[in-house]
Amino acid sequence: QVHLRNITNQTKIHAGKVHIVSEQGGNFIKSSQLDLKIDLNKKPWAYQVQGQANNISISKLLSLITEDDRVSGEIEMLKVDLSGVFVENKPLLKSKGVINVKNVNLAIKQDDDSTFPIMMDSAQLSLEGNKEVIIKLVAEESDDYEIPLDLTVTTNEKILTFFTSGEPLPLSLAFSANKAFLTAEGQVKYDGGKDDWIYQMKVKLKGPSIRKTVSLFEEDFDLEEKYQLTTTLNGNNSKLQLFDTDILLGNSSVKGELLAEKSAKRWLVTTKLTSDNIDINDILPTVVDDEHEKATSKEGKLLSDKPFNTSWLTYVDIDFDVNFNNITNGEILLGDYIVIANLMDGVLRTKVTVSGGYQDKKSNYDFELKAIDKALDLILLVDIKNFDLGTLLALTDLTDGVEGELDVDVEFQGRGKSVSQMISQGSGILRVDGGEGRISSTLLNLWGTGLTSSLLFTAAPNKNVDTKFNCGAAKFVLENGFFESQGIVLDTPETTMAGQIQIKLPEETLKGVVKPEPKKTSIVSIRTPVTVSGTVLEPKITVASDDALLTPFNMVVDFYATPFALVKNVLSSDAENPCEEALSETGRAEKKGVIEVITSPIKAFFGVFKSKEPATQ
């Protein structure tokens, strides 16, 4: 497959000196010139070489020395001007001169038969001899092209490891770029005395559009946006520093600094990110693959039994500092975010502060995570003040028919080898209090406008009316494998509703009751309680009779008695927030502990009002 032609060669040997002058052409190198001098009288041998090769076929050239055919493409020009001595294993380190490469266009075949292109306008390798190798690289590609890339990065110290699946973090990254521009210029030095690589590089990557798919924790995301990245990096074998880093993505911009230093135990990575302009639509990709969600639903459980991967906590120590101001979602101001995270000796401590936007006052989120015998130990504390619930539910596409503010307090401590085990064996408390607001809901109004109970199941679900509420409150306790409410109450001008719910873990079975009490007198007002059973993912709602629930037997059971007592306390209260006061008077003694999944009970509760089938949701 390799043909040589037009060969001219002249070799002279005299007094231990060799001089070779050669010109040749063929189908794997269109043309080449070589002038090589070797002095055999010196130990080690000294050499001097000048040469140039044009239009080099990489696949045909490699076929001379290997059967591996994964690399194909062409190099337009390779030029060499070097002098030095032959040293075993490290010949370049004893050489001086320059190697220039022009217009590299290669393709590497991947395991799935896709190809990964490498395109470069020019590169230069400068050798200084003795102790240093200086690499100067300038690469730019301006033509339209796409890069399908599956990236796997692994270091000996396991600072970063990206896998399609496996440890330490199941993440795969694939992206394609159109009209991408890459410019990199810098140098890499090798210090032979210290056996150390020293490098400095400036990199700029930009393009009008990028489409990125990220698979993280078995969920796929997709993002398409304009982008630009510029950074400067310095480092050696034990230190890496990135500074003057600017990231532009869509309408968002972030400045960053990173310092990674190798210690006796492991690497320490210090990161600082700041921004005064972030649109959450630019930085949060959209889920494009719901296979994981479908698989979870098939299991019939909300909480996963998949074992935790705990080894990543010991690979690296991290100091992480984020200060993002003016985070928006389109025209909606979400607020300011401050995140401080510290991972040291396998223990991760994080503090998040959110203020402004839909959080009128500062809210704090604190958690501590550590690995113990292949299990994770979690302590979670959440203190949310004046939380704009309507904005949150609209952003999550749950419903845009809610207005009002909430205070939320969460405490949780649990240990387990999976999410399900951690929650089931954990303990905690969740408190939610809300003042005046509005709910757009057919179901709420059915419980107070004189309709018969049968209409609860047959009324047109698309009828959308506004229901104001005076207050709402709920308390949940997690202990001994049960996630149980101390009471749930919602008061509107027409109706007071109170409920009690219990979830048995890890089976996730439900037991609950909701008691509506219309405030307006009507013969056909709906006062009939509703009972809840089934599982978290497949709840069943049925209508129960007051007589059945008010039997002496059931009344002594606090579980069924709580909603009736809550209704009574709310209706008789003169407090500014009668819901909160009713819970305080009715609830049992508070138990210490928490629930990790804050949003699930809230989302499930308000999901009732969004449902098109109130009878089955």
Q: How far is CA 606 from CA 136, 332, 566, 609, in A?
A: 60, 22, 19, 5
- Decide which of 100, 115, 130 is a domain's last residue: 115
Residue 380 has pLDDT above 90, yes or no: yes
pLDDT band at 315 (very low <50, low <70, confident <90, very high): confident
Per the prediction, the chain carries an average pLDDT of 70
**Does 72 reside within a domain?**
yes
In this prediction, residues 333-349 reach a mean pLDDT of: 90
- Decide which of 98, 115, 132 is a domain's last residue: 115
Least confident of 174-183, 319-328, 341-350, 423-432: 174-183
**Does 344 reside within a domain?**
no
Quote the pLDDT of residue 48: 93
Least confident of 13-22, 320-329, 435-444, 457-466: 457-466
In this prediction, residues 527-547 reach a mean pLDDT of: 74
Residue 606 has pLDDT above 50, yes or no: no
**Does 153 reside within a domain?**
no
Number of domains in the chain: 2
What b/e string do you get for 300-335 counting C-beta neighbours within 10 Å, with b at 16 or more? ebbbbeeebbbebbbbbbbebebebeebbbeeeebb
**Does 81 reside within a domain?**
yes
- Supply angle C-alpha 128, 134, 138, rounded to 5: 135
**Does 446 reside within a domain?**
yes
Quote the pLDDT of residue 343: 93
In this prediction, residues 538-558 reach a mean pLDDT of: 54
Quote the pLDDT of residue 521: 58
More confident residue, 320 or 170: 320
pLDDT band at 366 (very low <50, low <70, confident <90, very high): very high
Sort residue 73 into left (φ over 0), alpha (ψ -120 to 50) or beta.
Answer: left
Residue 155 has pLDDT above 60, yes or no: no
pLDDT band at 19 (very low <50, low <70, confident <90, very high): very high
CB 464 within 8 A of CB 401: yes
**Does 592 reside within a domain?**
yes
- Tell me the one-letter amino acid at 320: F
- Decide which of 115, 139, 172 is a domain's last residue: 115
- Supply angle C-alpha 13, 17, 19, rounded to 5: 60
Question: Is this model's pTM higher than 0.75 or not?
Answer: no
Quote the pLDDT of residue 472: 81
Quote the pLDDT of residue 421: 92
Note the pLDDT tens digit of each residue in 58-91: 888 888 777 778 888 899 999 999 998 877 655 5
Peptide bond into 518 cis (omega under 30): no
**Does 533 reside within a domain?**
yes
**Does 89 reside within a domain?**
yes
Distance (Å, rounded) from C-alpha 432 to C-alpha 387?
Answer: 10
In terms of residue numbers, what domain contains 485? 382-414+422-610
Phi and psi dihedrals of 130, rounded to 5? 60, -85
